[in-house]
Amino acid sequence: MTSKDTILEALRANSPAPLERGPLGFTPMTFEDPLAEFRERVVKAAAARCFLLEEGRAASDAVAAIVRRTYPDAKRIASSLPEAAACATFNPDELKDPRSLAGTDIAIVRGAFGVAENGAVWIPRTFRHKALLFIPEALVILLDRTQIVCTMHEAYSREDFDTYDFGSFIAGPSKTADIEQALVIGAHGPRDVSVILL
Amino acid sequence: MSTHSKAAEAFIADSERTAWHNRALWFVREKRDRMARSIPEWEALRDAAAHTKMHTITHLAYYLEMFERNAVANGIHVHWAKDAQEHNETVYRILSEHGARHLIKSKSMLSEECGLTPYLEERGIEAVESDLGERIMQLMHRPPSHIVLPAIHVKREEVGELFERELGTEHGNSDPTYLTHAARKHLREKFLHADAAMTGVNFAVASSGAFTVCTNEGNADMGTSFPKLHIAIMGLEKVIPDYDALALYTRLLARSATGQHSTTYTTHYKRPVEGQEIHVIIVDNGRSRILANPAHLNMLRCLRCGSCMNTCPVYRRSGGYSYSYFIPGPLGINLGMLASPKLYSGNVSACSLCMSCSNVCPVKIDLGEQIYLWRQQLDSLGLANPVKKGIVKVLNTALRNPGMFHFCVRAGRLGEKIAPRGLLYCGANAWGRDRELPKFTSRTFEQIWKEELSSTAAGSPETVPEDSSTNI
Amino acid sequence: MKIGLFIPCFVNAVYPSVGVASYKLLKALGLDVDYPLGQTCCGQPMANGGFEKDAAPLARRMEELFSGYDYVVGPSGSCVAFVKEHYPDILHREAHECLGSRIYEICEFIHDVVRPSELPRAYFPHKVSIHNSCHGQRLLGLASPSELNVPHYSKLRDLLSLVRGAEVFEPSRVDECCGFGGMFSIEEPAVSACMGADKVRDHISTGAEYITGADSSCLMHMEGIIKRQKLPIKTIHIVEILASGL
């Protein structure tokens, strides 16, 4: 008998009477203005920056202006997005080895939607190396401002949610409080995150 | 004295450190409270989370098979391990097949449970912890003292000295930001040179064959970004039915654990990407046995958030190392007893039955109530504290009938009068070490009742006005 | 309605004044109160220490003594909670057949059942800090536990608001355990005493002259620490405040 069979047999033999799933039993919170709530939590809860792109200006120019203003010293800027065309210095998808991304100052990626209750953005992998989200010093996330859900319930109920191969809800920069509960930004991943709402 | 009681006494001897430890963890509890109050449906969310876990636990074989089927269809390799040994062997076999010598790990309690790191090191494999707290503990050659905050008992100055020695940081610099960034630099090298990554699994979503790993540091994400091989290990209770269930747990986990709305990274692995391989190892190691134990079955709901430790007034004042099981606090007391009463019964005394743990638990595990139940079993297991047993014998005699009770009170009164203080407060009097004994009064309530009150009781009884509309 | 007064063992032996105040208070509220003779203990000390089976004879005795009363009322949240929570298991009976269905902690009883709008003679011109004991709080619901997201309430505070002169405070860790815990206090003496000292200090920092609460056992433990360390605060059971002037 394989270990799998042994385990499953033990689970079946020991299982108590099955309990039905049952209804959710509550109505999840909603926000009057999910976008405003999202913007506030991106900054306050997730410790990221949040920008609302001016309307009527070419996205590429506006993104570049924000990136240059926010990260004046950045030299290596990775992106394959058209909105980042005016500021990206290389296309990360052309690199074969993700290790070559070491030394990247900024990566500009696209988020699918934002979650108002926690300030996180869902970023399914639409680029070659998942390291792109974690290795740069700063991460810039472009997000359609109409794509904000209130809670994680709504997030996971989106019809297209399960179409990713790899993805992450990212709430601000990498952080830790492992030394005396003192919050330090920039543990292993990006030290700075900007969400730009298009 | 129990093993916990002895170790706790040693910890408490440093009162300043005890107060500091207590404060640091209370701070986390307060952050958790603020989060709980920010969600109007918090209590209903806990109900739903507990119920959904119970549903899952009573369908474990069904959901595990569903998870495996879907994960395999996604291109993930799934392995099963009956116990710690098979788990370790499986990890080693996969690493060997890939010729991997440098494993970068993110925090996993299962790995601690199975003793994986020493097992791999004996076989010449470098296993580096990448969570900052875990890395600190690894460099100190000590186990974590908390499941979410592994180095919560270590002071910044001690980290400063450790990093100066191990990583060459500046002498005397114990600034947390400076030290964290030094670790960032040190571990970045490890991330880039590892040839295999290991993560735990917070939730395995059966309906999709995906699993999630939650961190704040992004260490699991960095770890799995470069090597070809990713091994994810999970206790079999980590499976959940679907994304509806995942929504419940991602809303509760970080809020309960560290008082954040969410972890920085809630990362979902569903299919290996470009040239990478994902192996998931599903581990039993006693969990199927817990399923057959109706009094303690609820332990299988646990999310490993650590909130029961943060709120536990005993844990906060005795530290993680005062418990003999590798998981401390209310969770560890219970899991230790499920693992081996013989080895870990010394932790069962570490509970004042305040029940705060049961109230903070995001999946409403009756942690305190279960500790009460374990205590009832110690005597029949031959593990009861003999001193306590003696006290109970005396109580049984003194309280069994009122004659004996009042005789004992009289004896106590006399003893209190004639015994010298040195005898009353001798070493055998655990109460008297730090506390004065209460004093017997000249009459018991029963005497006062007989002599004064009973005559007044018979007169003019009135009933409570049923229509009493006054409310206070 | 007939009320049986339940006086726990240690209240009987070392805090009889709490029993007297309980009686006077109920009587002053116009109730028919009786004290069935021959009470000893509810069995909690043994059971919390892991010897629930030794509590069985005491549980049977309690059931017998109080069989003829509509309500059983006692000045100790922890003992009352024990009777409520554990007698059905100990006696292998349905909950509604056990004493637990009729027993009340005295503040709970006055607040929820008697519901007086005033306590005309109660006068206590002092600053008091409420000790929200664990079992009163988390098992009996005398106040909203700090861990839960439920509307805030406090039955003890409501009752104290009827006492003229009393200025009411609560410690910053409003319902942190004082570390008594029955057998815990002698099995884990170092942690227990540390918890007690921390709790007393928290009460002192409110500026109160008295710690008051519905559990004599917690008060006994804290009193032991106060006396040993000669700390500037006293303990008093809440019924002694509510019954002041009687």
Sheet hosting strand C127-131, strand order edge to edge: C167-169, C127-131, C210-213, C234-237
CB contact under 8 A, C33 and B457: yes
pLDDT at position B472: 39
CB contact under 8 A, C188 and B348: no
Establish how many alpha carbons lie within 13 A of residue C29's alpha carbon, considering only the half-sphere containing its beta carbon.
28
pLDDT at position B428: 81
Question: A197 CA to chain B: closest CA distance, Å?
Answer: 19
Task: Identify the residue whose tokens are 């500790």.
Answer: B371
Q: How far apart are CA B386 and CA C51, in angstroms?
A: 12
CB contact under 8 A, A178 and B133: yes
Handedness of CA B10, B15, B17, B20 (dihedral sign): positive
Asked if pLDDT for residue C170 goes beyond 50, the answer is yes
Q: How far apart are CA B360 and CA C176, in angstroms?
A: 13
Domain C127-242, what fold?
Rossmann fold (3.40.50)
This model's pTM is above 0.90: yes
Nearest Cβ partner for C117 among B12, B349, B470? B470
Residue A101 CB partners (closer than 8 Å, separation 6+): A78, A92, A95, A107, A129, A131, A132, A135, A136
Domain C2-114, what fold?
Rossmann fold (3.40.50)
Residue of B nearest to A9 (CA): B61
Question: B125 CA to chain C: closest CA distance, Å?
Answer: 41
Q: What is the pLDDT of residues A84-135, one digit of tens each?
A: 999 999 999 999 999 999 999 999 999 999 999 999 999 999 999 999 999 9
Which chains touch B (3+ CB pairs under 8 A)?
A, C
Q: What is the mean pLDDT of residues A163-186?
A: 96
List of chain A residues whose C-beta atoms are within 8 Å of the C-beta of residue B188: 102, 188
- Pull the structure tokens for residue A196: 């730009």
Residue of B nearest to C222 (CA): B435
Nearest Cβ partner for A7 among B44, B236, B269? B236
CB contact under 8 A, C179 and B352: yes
Q: What is the pLDDT of residues A27-79, one digit of tens each?
A: 999 999 999 999 999 999 999 999 998 877 889 999 999 999 999 999 999 99
Q: Touching check for C136 and chain B: CB below 8 Å?
A: no
Q: What DSSP character marks residue C154?
A: B
Burial class (CB in 10 A: 0-12, 13-18, 19+), B115: middle
**Distances B211 to B76, B214, B468 between C-alpha atoms, Å:** 11, 10, 58
**Distances A29 to A151, A179, B39, B362, C194 between C-alpha atoms, Å:** 7, 34, 7, 18, 41
**Distances B13 to B9, C49, C193, C222 between C-alpha atoms, Å:** 6, 25, 12, 20
Task: Identify the residue whose tokens are 């129990």.
Answer: B2
List of chain B residues whose C-beta atoms are within 8 Å of the C-beta of residue C215: none
Q: What DSSP character marks residue B237?
A: G
Q: How far apart are CA B398 and CA B392, in angstroms?
A: 10
Question: Beta partners for C129?
Answer: C169, C211
pLDDT at position B429: 87
Question: C209 CA to chain B: closest CA distance, Å?
Answer: 20
Question: B244 CA to chain A: closest CA distance, Å?
Answer: 7
pLDDT at position B244: 98
Establish how many alpha carbons lie within 13 A of residue B358's alpha carbon, considering only the half-sphere containing its beta carbon.
20
Q: How far apart are CA C134 and CA C215, in angstroms?
A: 9
Residue C115: left (phi > 0), alpha (psi -120 to 50), or beta?
left
pLDDT at position B461: 43
Q: Where do the structural domains in chain C lie, given as residue ranges?
A: 2-114, 127-242
pLDDT at position B285: 97
Task: Identify the residue whose tokens are 């570390």.
Answer: C179
CB contact under 8 A, B438 and C189: no
Q: How far apart are CA C231 and CA C201, in angstroms?
A: 9
Pairing mode of beta strands C2-5, C71-74: parallel
Main-chain dihedrals φ then ψ at residue B16, nearest 5 degrees: -65, -45
Question: B395 CA to chain C: closest CA distance, Å?
Answer: 8
Asked whether C166 and B54 are in contact (CB, 8 A), the reply is no
- Pull the structure tokens for residue B439: 């004093």
Nearest Cβ partner for B273 among A13, A125, A176? A125
Q: Which residues of chain B have pLDDT under 50?
A: 460-472
Nearest Cβ partner for C183 among B39, B388, B456? B388
Question: B170 CA to chain A: closest CA distance, Å?
Answer: 17
Q: Touching check for A1 and chain B: CB below 8 Å?
A: no
Q: What is the pLDDT of residues C21-78, one digit of tens each?
A: 999 999 999 999 999 999 999 999 999 889 999 999 999 999 999 999 999 999 999 9
Residue of C nearest to B360 (CA): C147
Q: What DSSP character marks residue A121?
A: E
Main-chain dihedrals φ then ψ at residue C14, nearest 5 degrees: -120, -15
Asked whether C66 and C6 are in contact (CB, 8 A), the reply is yes
Asked whether B213 and B199 are in contact (CB, 8 A), the reply is yes
Residue contacts between A and B (CB atoms, under 8 Å):
252
Pairing mode of beta strands C2-5, A49-52: unpaired
CB contact under 8 A, B431 and C14: no
Burial class (CB in 10 A: 0-12, 13-18, 19+), C158: middle
Asked whether C206 and C235 are in contact (CB, 8 A), the reply is no
Q: Closest Cα partner for B350 from B326, B322, B392, B376?
A: B322
Strands (E) located in C108-232: 127-131, 167-169, 210-213
Chains B and A touch (3+ CB pairs under 8 A): yes
Best probe of the B interface among A125, A180, A192, by most B CBs < 10 A, is A180
Asked whether C16 and C75 are in contact (CB, 8 A), the reply is no
List of chain B residues whose C-beta atoms are within 8 Å of the C-beta of residue A16: 57-58, 291, 294, 297
Q: How many other CB atoms sit within 10 Å of the CB of residue C151?
A: 6
Question: B29 CA to chain C: closest CA distance, Å?
Answer: 9
- Written as one letter, the residue type at B357 is C
Asked whether B270 and B276 are in contact (CB, 8 A), the reply is no
Nearest Cβ partner for B384 among C9, C50, C177? C50
Range 61-90 of C in CB contact (< 8 A) with B: none
- Pull the structure tokens for residue B232: 């994810």
Asked whether B314 and B351 are in contact (CB, 8 A), the reply is yes
pLDDT at position B467: 41
Q: How far apart are CA B298 and CA B301, in angstroms?
A: 6
- A28-197: CATH architecture: 3-Layer(aba) Sandwich (3.40)
List of chain A residues whose C-beta atoms are within 8 Å of the C-beta of residue B27: 181
Question: B273 CA to chain A: closest CA distance, Å?
Answer: 7
Residue of A nearest to B254 (CA): A118
CB contact under 8 A, B261 and A171: yes
Question: B292 CA to chain A: closest CA distance, Å?
Answer: 5
Q: Domains plus CATH for chain B? A: 1-38+306-384 (no CATH), 58-154+195-289 (3.40.50.10420), 386-453 (no CATH)
Q: Touching check for A130 and chain B: CB below 8 Å?
A: yes
Question: Beta partners for C72?
Answer: C4, C103
SS3 for A46-94, per residue?
CCCEEEECCCCCCHHHHHHHHHHHHCCCCCCEECCCHHHCCCCCECHHH
CB contact under 8 A, C58 and B33: no
- Written as one letter, the residue type at C103 is I
**Distances B451 to A45, B403, C7, C30 between C-alpha atoms, Å:** 66, 17, 16, 22
Q: What is the pLDDT of residues C186-204, one digit of tens each?
A: 999 999 999 999 999 999 9
List of chain A residues whose C-beta atoms are within 8 Å of the C-beta of residue B154: 179
